[in-house]
Amino acid sequence: MGFSLRGMMRPSVLVEISGGSTLVVLRSKSARLSLRPSLSLSLSSYTAAAAAAGRGSGEVRWTVIGGWTAPATGQGLAPRVPFPIRFKSVSASSALRQGMTEHNDSGIEQIQLLDGFQDSYGGVTVEMKEHMDADVFAPLLRASISSWKQRGKQGVWIKLPIEYSHLVDIIVQEGFRYHHAEPNYLMLVRWLAETLDTLPMNASHRVGVGAFVLNDKREVLVVQEHSGWFQGKGVWKLPTGVVNEGEDICDAVVREVKEETGVDTKFVEVLCFRQSHKSFFTKSDLLFLCVLQPESSAIDKQNVEIEAAQWMPIEEYAKQPFVVNNKQFNFMANICLVKANHGYPGLSARATTSGGGKRNYIYCNKPEVVENFASLM
């Protein structure tokens, strides 16, 4: 009934009916699609798709959006007998458990859609949480993209755990690009709208900390490094490290000093910071030089990264030829000297909360003045 059948089609074909807003996805082992110039679609044993447009008869335009055939558009005769179409979005995992398809009373198989949650910017995010074979996933993704487009979604995000790396290529072939990756997952994105792509950028900076720990004998805590750029150069440098994911700068610098030298310290303030570019592939780097108050003096150095650690007179540290001849090191050493010898207004850390209730730190000068300012007005 309805369309007549010609040519050859892969088992899984998705048909989108443009006569209405409803997406109809058919999957039929007996269906065939001819790829001749005058395309015709037929579903031999089904009262087919066009009823989805809400019209009992007449012509509808249709587009083949899925399967492994090339996308194509065309027209066909509407079926003579309308039937109910169920349109249901389910999670990938439940679709899998249900065998991907549902049979309704008319014998139609409907491929279901990937389930995504919405963001406040008009986008949708899909998190793949269970294994799915590539040949099951591919038509599901195509049907879902079509549905999201119809529903006016702009950006689509797919979070794909590394266990499902066999699906990366399929997603890329559907027009997605990489957004970011963490060790255990890859995030892929596609902008669906006709408007300018406003998907936010990935993280662009690594954040490091340097520790200026001065004791009451005007000695500064310094280390020599085993590997990397400073290896074998004999340069005594301030302990430095990378801020961990989710870690506050004021905590990271205390942790790094303890790890590298065994010395306990208390965060006092940020003296200055340096931004540099292309320090790690295409990424930038922010280094915060912090003043720490020592709370112990015995050195118990870590062996993996640190060759040596000691307390050293601050002038001796600042006069090392490498420090004097490297503009950046020299500048930072001078800041330390100014701090040790004069007043230098550093940035203290003050805990605040965001609108969403998350605790965070603001680093600023004169925090007491700032905190009391409202009452001065």
Stretch 218-237 residues interacting with its own copies (CB under 8 A): 227-229, 231
Which residue type does 169 have?
D
- DSSP H helices, 45-198, are 92-97, 134-150, 168-173
> According to CB under 8 A, which one of 69, 101, 284, 302 is a site residue for its own copies?
284
Q: Kindly indicate which of the ranges 19-27, 71-79, 88-96, 161-169 contains the residues binding its own copies, using the contact rule CB under 8 A.
A: 161-169
**Could you give the CA distance from residue 151 to residue 156 in angstroms, rounded to a whole number?**
12
Which one, of 182, 179, 185, lies nearest residue 199 by Cα? Answer: 179
**Could you give the CA distance from residue 242 to residue 285 in angstroms, rounded to a whole number?**
10
Specify the 3-state DSSP secondary structure of 251.
helix
How near is the Cβ of 166 to its own copies at its closest, in Å?
5
Q: End-to-end CA distance of the chain, in Å? A: 81
Using CB under 8 A as the binding rule, whether residue 37 contacts its own copies is answered as no
Mask for 188-207, x = binds its own copies (CB under 8 A): --------x-x-xxxxxxxx
Q: Which of residues 168-187 bind its own copies (CB under 8 A)?
A: 168-169, 172-173, 177-187
Q: Kindly indicate which of the ranges 76-84, 103-111, 239-247, 258-266 contains the residues binding its own copies, using the contact rule CB under 8 A.
A: 239-247
Supply 370's token pair: 């700032």
Using CB under 8 A as the binding rule, whether residue 355 contacts its own copies is answered as yes
> According to CB under 8 A, which one of 278, 298, 303, 321 is a site residue for its own copies?
278
Mask for 300-319, x = binds its own copies (CB under 8 A): ----x----------x----
Supply 297's token pair: 């003096």
Q: Which of residues 15-34 bind its own copies (CB under 8 A)?
A: none
User: Would you say 252 and 231 are in contact if contact means Cβ atoms under 8 Å apart?
Assistant: no
Closer CB to its own copies, 287 or 309, in the complex: 287
315, containing H or E segment: helix 314-318
How near is the Cβ of 266 to its own copies at its closest, in Å?
19
Closer CB to its own copies, 177 or 266, in the complex: 177
Using CB under 8 A as the binding rule, whether residue 38 contacts its own copies is answered as no
User: Would you say 48 and 1 are in contact if contact means Cβ atoms under 8 Å apart?
Assistant: yes
How near is the Cβ of 373 to its own copies at its closest, in Å?
4
Using CB under 8 A as the binding rule, whether residue 290 contacts its own copies is answered as no
Q: Could you identify the residue written with the tokens 């007449």?
A: 58
User: Would you say 10 and 29 are in contact if contact means Cβ atoms under 8 Å apart?
Assistant: no
Using CB under 8 A as the binding rule, whether residue 83 contacts its own copies is answered as no
User: Would you say 21 and 54 are in contact if contact means Cβ atoms under 8 Å apart?
Assistant: no
**Could you give the CA distance from residue 101 to residue 104 in angstroms, rounded to a whole number?**
10
Using CB under 8 A as the binding rule, whether residue 374 contacts its own copies is answered as yes
How near is the Cβ of 197 to its own copies at its closest, in Å?
10
Q: Which of residues 97-156 bind its own copies (CB under 8 A)?
A: 120-122
> According to CB under 8 A, which one of 89, 104, 244, 297 is a site residue for its own copies?
244
Please tell me the count of residues contacting its own copies according to CB under 8 A: 94
How near is the Cβ of 132 to its own copies at its closest, in Å?
14
**Could you give the CA distance from residue 133 to residue 99 in angstroms, rounded to a whole number?**
12
User: Would you say 13 and 69 are in contact if contact means Cβ atoms under 8 Å apart?
Assistant: yes
